[in-house]
Amino acid sequence: MPDFDKVTLLVGDSATELEIVASTQGHSGLDISKLMAATGLSSFDPAFVNTASTKSAITYIDGDQGILRYRGYPIEQVAELKSFTETSYLLIYGAFPTATELTDFEKKISVRTEHIQQLDGFFRSFPKDAHPMAVLSAAVSALSTFYPETLDPGSEAAIEESTLRLLAMVPVVTAYAHKASIGEDFVAPRPELSMVDNFLNMTFGSNEIPFEQNLIVSKALDTLLLLHADHEQNCSTSTVRLVGSSQANLYASVSAGVNALSGPLHGGANEAVIEMLELINKTSETVETYVERVKNKEDNVRLMGFGHRVYKSFDPRAKIVKATADQVLSELGVTDPLLAVAKQLEAIALADDYFVSRKLYPNVDFYTGVIYKALGFPPKMFTPLFAIGRMPGWIAHWREMNSEANTRISRPQQVYIGEAERSI
């Protein structure tokens, strides 16, 4: 919090006072909502590098210190002590559930899982090599047609119902997108299983032979989902809020979030990292030649899984993921040369001035792919897994935005640089 509560902006001879919007932690904001009316100028901030689009009480990040907290709780503690479902509850409702609340929440979710047979043809209608992120976003949008009573953003009951439906059904439709892509039958959800075990069974099991539950696999996936659960106003979450600001329903808003997440600079990076590691492992490309190409910006090639808009010292999630990768591969008895390539790349980059001077460090996506691979997921499923993890965060932000009395439709300005009026 700065030690002043106003900033005076001088435009020509006229002074405009801008108020400070106080934070409880981190950057406070300069309220420029009256800027255009007072000065005739809009603010110009490409990629929103300096712009706070909202107040929020869900997640706090200090990018210089490598701090991430969900509702005030450090990510390290959450990852060690809580499950993905408890974390989802925390993000959405503001506090961890009691034991009874947790059982109730789990039940509310599990009874809302279902195999919607009308969607079977939908999943089968895509080309075999369709990317599951495209199918997932379409499926999330399609879900809204099956639950019309849950669409009204003005109804608390509808919001609660769509929240539970999405938490229940996104793992189901993600698993079905996978099954369709490998030409296997869909596996009916089993409400008696935990969310993670149910998802693993629908993904890797069959109706005849259930997936053999494995505590190491379940725990590893649960931790990865939890680490992705929220990250304040990132690209996909901002998309969800922006779409929701038009009073589009929760499914439509989240479906847009899935699309925003799919890009390689955002959630799609986890798949791109594995492709990069495989390129180095399987071709004449070496760690050194790859890093040189990155530094020379050849064909705009980047060190995928490195760098972050906010984190400038380290990404606390990446630290946990790296330790988890070592542990899971060793517990599962998997030796993957890609883990060694990733570690080599990290070591070389962290000692190189190109990356050090630009404050580029491994982000959450750098080591996740190696774990997902060890758990048996194909690379195309990595970003959908991220989407399952991010679901509670998107929902929490949409609800926070929707519950504010003064929420208006989001509508940025532009600085027009086209032709002045001319005649044909």
Residues annotated as catalytic are 308, 365
Q: Which of 71, 308, 322, 373 binds ligand ACO (CB under 6 A)?
A: 308
Rule CB under 6 A: say whether 265 interacts with ligand ACO. Answer: yes
Q: Which two tokens stand for residue 86?
A: 């408890």
Rule CB under 6 A: say whether 384 interacts with ligand ACO. Answer: no
What is the Cα–Cα distance from 115 to 105, expressed in whole angstroms? 20
Q: Which of 110, 218, 363, 368 binds ligand ACO (CB under 6 A)?
A: 363
- Minimal CA–CA distance to 393: which of 227, 177, 256? 227
Stretch that binds ligand ACO, among 127-135, 152-160, 260-268, 375-383 (CB under 6 A): 260-268
Give the CA radius of gyration of the chain.
Answer: 23
CB of residue 74 to ligand ACO, shortest distance in Å: 19
What is the Cα–Cα distance from 131 to 177, expressed in whole angstroms? 9
CB of residue 302 to ligand ACO, shortest distance in Å: 4
Query: First-to-last CA distance in the chain?
Result: 55
Q: Which of 360, 381, 391, 401 binds ligand ACO (CB under 6 A)?
A: 360
Q: Which of 108, 190, 219, 266 binds ligand ACO (CB under 6 A)?
A: 266
If the CB atoms of residues 221 and 360 are measured against ligand ACO, the closer one turns out to be 360
Helix, strand or coil for residue 205? coil
Stretch that binds ligand ACO, among 61-69, 283-291, 339-347, 361-369 (CB under 6 A): 361-369
Rule CB under 6 A: say whether 319 interacts with ligand ACO. Answer: no
Q: In what order do the strands lie in the sheet with 29-30?
A: 6-11, 14-21, 29-30
Q: Which amino acid is at 51?
A: T
If the CB atoms of residues 66 and 305 are measured against ligand ACO, the closer one turns out to be 305
What is the Cα–Cα distance from 272 to 265, expressed in whole angstroms? 9
Q: Which of 6, 27, 107, 358 binds ligand ACO (CB under 6 A)?
A: 358
> Mind giving me the DSSP string for 158-190?
HHHHHHHHHHHHHHHHHHHHHHHHTTPPP----
**Interface with ligand ACO by CB under 6 A: which residues?**
234, 265-267, 269, 294, 302-309, 358, 360, 363-365
